[in-house]
Amino acid sequence: MSGRPRGPERRPSVGRPRARGASLLDPRSAAGQVFLVQVVIVVLLVAAAVAAMVLQTANNALQQGRRESVVAAQSFANAPGTAEALRSPDPTAVLQPKAEAVRKRAGIDFVVVTDTKGIRYTYPYPSEIGKKFVGTIGPALKGKTVVEQAGGPPLPAGRGTAVQAVVPVTDAHGTVVGLVSAGITVRNVAALWLPMLPIILASGAVALGLAVAGTTLVSRRLRRQTHGLAPAELAQLYEHHEAVLHAVREGVLIIDADGYLVLANDEATRLLGLPPDVGRRPVRELGLPESITLLLTTPKAVTDEVYLAGDRLLAVNKRLTYPRGDHGGSVVTLRDTTELAAVSGRAEVARERLKLLYEAGLGIGTTLDVGRTAQELADVTAPQFADLVTVDLLDAVLRGWEPTAEGWRHLRRAAIGGERRTVPVYPVGELITFSRRTPQMRTLQERRVMLEPDLRQAHGWRAQDPERARKALECGFRSLLAVPLRARNVLLGVVNFYRTADSPPFEPEDLSFAEELAARAALAIDNARRFTREHAMAVTLQRSLLPRGQPDQDALEVAWRYLPAEAGVGGDWFDVIPLPGARVALVMGDVVGHGLHAAATMGRLRTAVHNFSTLDLPVDEVLGNLDDLVVRMDSEDDAGDAVNGHEGEGVTGATCLYAVYDPVAGTCTMARAGHPEPVVVDPDGTVTCPGVPASAPLGLGGYPFETAELRLPEGSQLVLYTDGLVENRDQDIDVGMDRLRQTLAGYGGRAPEETCRAVIDALKPSHASDDIALLAARTRMIPSSRVAEWEVPSDPALVPSIRARCRETLLGWGLEDAAFATELILSELLTNAIRYGSPPVRVRLLYGRCLICEVSDGSGTSPRLRRAATTDEGGRGLFLVAQFAQRWGTRYTTHGKVIWAEQVLHDGASAAADQPPVDFLLDQFDDLDM
């Protein structure tokens, strides 16, 4: 400001003088930065001069070496007797002394004479004579001179840059009879440029001294003009000055001793109605009230005096700028007291709305039900914000689907809130078709709040349903706010806030608050919608993946139960899979987690188990392949989420128990990967745990799976389950296992359905936090009277006798109609086993729901079905087997393989009886158009 003294007593307290040497060497100061730049420039100039001088000296030395090598080589090549010496019987004996003499006399490093193939005749070191010349000789053989830099064997000169010239030696007829190469090693050239170095360094020192002197002068002048403040401190003072003047809610005026207005901030300009370009004008020319003008122009100090300025009451404070100095001037602050009441009222309204927003945050979204969340929105906002609140949602939102713009015209009333619920509005659950002129449709189309301050003038609202509108106006409805419910930029519906004549109408400032309420509610509604969709999808997926009925099989009587957790479906699954040879596989698995991901993972694992069972692998190999699959699934999930920049949802935990029961031998082979051990109930009611070895859960990779083989008497029950049955938050797994054994004890004769019912009734928790899967299987045995087995010597001539025994067996079982097809199948399989397999060869017939024919041998080679040509004598056997059998295949054992074929029986007759004749099938098989 004008009149400010410059003496040291007025220096601002925010800064302090810096030491001269410190400021010059401090890289954070302006002087230090300028000095640093100048030092860098001087150093770069000195370095550039030295580098240029070194390069120039080295280049001159190299050029001198090139000239000397060319002169020496050409002189020796053209010397009398050189060409004749090259044609002599021993060129080296003639030329080596001459070359060494020339080398020493001319002061070069080598003179090498070679033939036209580059073989040396001379060299300073005789050991190198006769070796290949190192250099380019092609142009020299054509009569040209070659000058190059090349390396080669050691030279007397030692290290350096070797420059050599290669010139041709011609005879009298101009024919090149040899080559001469002379070279010189350009060594250290420092002696040429070192005498100039002191001059360059002295020049750099002088420049550096001038830079120090100039920087010191500039630094002193800056300190005098800034009172010792650093640039950062000056910038900070300016920023503080601007922030205080333009952000403070009080008017600030600065008047100098001459009565000129030096400064007026934004608030003072607003309160006094000053023009924008008010700076440096006399106060009396500003058009202010006389009382305020007099106050500003007199040197009197004022404290909290009230002055009238237009329609405002201003509280004024005035202080002299320099009360103890010779310079005048004053600072005036203004505060508007007329707005205090209005501000207090707005603060109360804001407090009430903040409280309502807090209540909305607590009361909306307490459940994941769409309808309940909509009702919570209506209950929280009525009557605090509106007298009546209705929530209309798209029908797709209530169903959990993704909303689309096509459904905007069809909204369903989801909730009504307020004391006036008896007014004539659409009831909850009714589907409403809004016209395009209604505020509801307009707010959806334009994606903004629609305010109808007077419903009597809202023609679009009245045209929607004139009769309901008339009754609503008679009930006192006066104003409406229609707010879109939008989440993730997707419209879910609309919320309608109504006020009656007893309440003040909605105003424009209510719009932002209504939008905030709707935004919070929309997020909760969308979360509920997405949960509904995911839950429905997971339930649908899991119902489609779990078994829907019991497969046809003779080995086990099965019953099961599946109970999902309260939080939603999970990854528990079970299966009963018929296998060849009347065997049955039992599977029980568990994927950690709940929801769609767990259900989808369960489906993938269940499908994989089916595929592995189809291959008829041993139980430990099935779990091993399943473990490899889980590892690959984890790797795929991790790789996909790494590309997308988020954490993967891999199979964080999966367990499985796989068991195969053979009703012929009465044995059950099983293995478990991290799964709870099964329970066996003997026919007498004794409950035991078979002691199946525990192996690592699926997905760890590299760990073997141990198997156990049990002998189960007929009528025994095998109970499989997941950990949700015996373990929860309130019960340890050991306690749950004891309760399970107690429930199963003493009831060996009951059916599996009764076993499942009793176990669920006894162990089902009141609040299930995990899925529960339970499978009870009672064993059956195929009677020995329905099993026929023969060992066959490896002689094709014995096949007819085995076929005859097969016919006798089938006649004894009453399967005369299946005899022909079975004999044909047995004959083909047995012939193949004897011809292409290895002993021992065995035949087994099993009579149950279907007729099974098995032929085993000691070979691991599997037959395959192929098309035989018309001229082929064989190749049609397996084709006939495939036509007469319902299913056929191969399974491998530890001692070879078993080829099996199943025939479905209908009242003792084979379904193959309805097949076409054999001759017809063979004719069709040979038909190339088939």
Query: How confident is the model at residue 20, as a pLDDT?
Result: 47
Write out the DSSP string of 209-246: HHHHHHHHHHHHHHHHHHTT--HHHHHHHHHHHHHHHH
Of 179-193, 807-821, 861-875, where does mean pLDDT reach its minimum?
A: 861-875
Question: Distance between CA 625 and CA 609 in Å, rounded?
Answer: 9
Residue 131 confidence class, pLDDT cut points 50, 70, 90: confident
DSSP 8-state code for residue 426: P
Question: Distance between CA 868 and CA 926 in Å, rounded?
Answer: 7
**Mean pLDDT value across residues 64-87:** 82
Amino acid at 142: K
Kindly report the average pLDDT of the chain as a whole number: 80
Question: Distance between CA 529 and CA 369 in Å, rounded?
Answer: 8
Are 801 and 766 within 8 A, CB to CB? no
Q: Name the residue with tokens 């040979």.
A: 926
Which of 761, 760, 778, 724 is CA-nearest to residue 586?
778
Residue 444: count of CB within 10 angstroms of its CB: 26
Give me Rg for the CA atoms of the chain.
Answer: 52
Residue 622 has pLDDT above 90, yes or no: yes
Query: How confident is the model at residue 13, as a pLDDT?
Result: 44
Question: Distance between CA 69 and CA 800 in Å, rounded?
Answer: 105
For 261, the 3-state DSSP assignment is: strand
Query: How confident is the model at residue 924, as a pLDDT?
Result: 45
Query: How confident is the model at residue 229, as a pLDDT?
Result: 67
Is residue 422 left, alpha or beta, with left meaning phi > 0 and alpha meaning psi from -120 to 50?
Answer: alpha
Are 565 and 769 within 8 A, CB to CB? yes
Output the 3-class SS for 558-618.
Answer: EEEEEECECCECEEEEEEEEECCCCCEEEEEEEEEEECHHHHHHHHHHHHHHHHHHHCCCC
Burial of residue 858 (CB within 10 Å: 0-12, 13-18, 19+) is middle
Residue 308 confidence class, pLDDT cut points 50, 70, 90: confident
Question: Distance between CA 436 and CA 492 in Å, rounded?
Answer: 17
Query: How confident is the model at residue 243, as a pLDDT?
Result: 72
Are 138 and 156 within 8 A, CB to CB? no
Residue bearing the bigger pLDDT, 701 or 28: 701
Task: Write down how long the chain is.
Answer: 930
Question: Distance between CA 418 and CA 534 in Å, rounded?
Answer: 32
Question: Distance between CA 92 and CA 100 in Å, rounded?
Answer: 11
> Under 8 Å CB-to-CB from 837, ≥6 apart: which residues?
857, 858, 859, 861, 896, 897
**Mean pLDDT value across residues 846-873:** 75
Residue 9 confidence class, pLDDT cut points 50, 70, 90: very low
* Joined tokens for residue 753: 């359905």
Expressed in percent and rounded to 5, the helix, strand and coil fractions of the chain are 40, 25, 35
Residue 597 has pLDDT above 50, yes or no: yes
**Mean pLDDT value across residues 43-67:** 78
Residue 327 confidence class, pLDDT cut points 50, 70, 90: low
Output the 3-class SS for 317-361.
Answer: EEEECCCCCCCCCEEEEEEECCCHHHHHHHHHHHHHHHHHHHHHH
Write out the DSSP string of 151-193: --S--TT-SSEEEEEEEEEE-TTS-EEEEEEEEEEE---HHHH
Chain segment 118-127, per-residue pLDDT in tens: 888 898 888 8
Of 23-27, 79-83, 387-391, where does mean pLDDT reach its minimum?
A: 23-27
For 555, the 3-state DSSP assignment is: coil
Residue 335 confidence class, pLDDT cut points 50, 70, 90: confident
Burial of residue 131 (CB within 10 Å: 0-12, 13-18, 19+) is middle
* Joined tokens for residue 375: 């009702």
Q: Taking each helix axis from N to C terminus, what angle separates 877-884 and 819-836, rounded to the nearest 10 degrees?
A: 150
For 732, the 3-state DSSP assignment is: coil
Residue 887 has pLDDT above 50, yes or no: yes
Residue 5 confidence class, pLDDT cut points 50, 70, 90: very low
Question: Distance between CA 496 and CA 391 in Å, rounded?
Answer: 6
Residue bearing the bigger pLDDT, 462 or 730: 462
Which of 555, 614, 465, 546 is CA-nearest to residue 771?
546
Question: Distance between CA 673 and CA 625 in Å, rounded?
Answer: 12
Residue 32 confidence class, pLDDT cut points 50, 70, 90: confident
**Which residues are 484's β-sheet partners?**
494
Residue bearing the bigger pLDDT, 565 or 110: 110
**Mean pLDDT value across residues 131-135:** 85
**Mean pLDDT value across residues 864-891:** 68
Residue 866 confidence class, pLDDT cut points 50, 70, 90: low
Query: How confident is the model at residue 646, as a pLDDT?
Result: 45
Residue 589 confidence class, pLDDT cut points 50, 70, 90: very high
Burial of residue 91 (CB within 10 Å: 0-12, 13-18, 19+) is buried
**Mean pLDDT value across residues 185-198:** 64
DSSP 8-state code for residue 257: T
* Joined tokens for residue 300: 């009197």
Residue 16 has pLDDT above 90, yes or no: no
Residue 682 confidence class, pLDDT cut points 50, 70, 90: very high
Residue 930 has pLDDT above 50, yes or no: no
Residue 519 has pLDDT above 70, yes or no: yes
Residue 65 confidence class, pLDDT cut points 50, 70, 90: confident
Question: Distance between CA 633 and CA 627 in Å, rounded?
Answer: 10
Residue bearing the bigger pLDDT, 475 or 341: 475
**Mean pLDDT value across residues 460-483:** 88
Query: How confident is the model at residue 922, as a pLDDT?
Result: 46
* Joined tokens for residue 33: 């930065």
**Mean pLDDT value across residues 379-387:** 87
Residue bearing the bigger pLDDT, 279 or 324: 279
Residue 536 has pLDDT above 70, yes or no: yes
Which of 497, 495, 477 is CA-nearest to residue 485?
495
Residue 575, CA distances (Å) to 639, 678, 772 in order: 31, 15, 14
Of 192-201, 438-447, 682-691, 749-758, where does mean pLDDT reach its minimum?
A: 192-201
Are 112 and 122 within 8 A, CB to CB? yes
Write out the DSSP string of 44-112: HHHHHHHHHHHHHHHHHHHHHHHHHHHHHHHHHHTSTTHHHHHHSS-HHHHHHHHHHHHHHHHT-SEEE
Residue 280 has pLDDT above 80, yes or no: no
Residue 572 has pLDDT above 90, yes or no: no
Question: Distance between CA 357 and CA 514 in Å, rounded?
Answer: 10
Chain segment 162-185, per-residue pLDDT in tens: 788 888 988 878 788 888 888 887
DSSP 8-state code for residue 917: P
Question: Distance between CA 651 and CA 654 in Å, rounded?
Answer: 7
Residue bearing the bigger pLDDT, 315 or 676: 676
Residue 873 confidence class, pLDDT cut points 50, 70, 90: very low
Is residue 158 left, alpha or beta, with left meaning phi > 0 and alpha meaning psi from -120 to 50?
Answer: left
Q: Name the residue with tokens 């989440």.
A: 487
* Joined tokens for residue 466: 């004139």
Residue bearing the bigger pLDDT, 596 or 551: 551
Handedness of CA 643, 644, 650, 652 (dihedral sign): positive
Query: How confident is the model at residue 157, as a pLDDT?
Result: 60
Q: What angle do CA 361, 365, 371 make, to 5 degrees?
A: 135
Expressed in angstroms, the distance from the first to the final Cα of the chain is 109
Is the pTM higher than 0.95? no
* Joined tokens for residue 668: 């059950």
Is residue 626 left, alpha or beta, with left meaning phi > 0 and alpha meaning psi from -120 to 50?
Answer: alpha
**Mean pLDDT value across residues 806-828:** 87
Of 314-328, 396-410, 507-521, 619-633, where does mean pLDDT reach its minimum?
A: 314-328
Question: Distance between CA 542 and CA 554 in Å, rounded?
Answer: 27
Distance of CA 4 to the CA centre of its chain: 64
Residue 807, CA distances (Å) to 802, 824, 827, 908 in order: 9, 11, 12, 14
Which of 598, 608, 711, 615 is CA-nearest to residue 663?
711
* Joined tokens for residue 813: 């079982």
Of 224-228, 755-759, 795-799, where does mean pLDDT reach its minimum?
A: 224-228
Q: Name the residue with tokens 């307490």.
A: 366
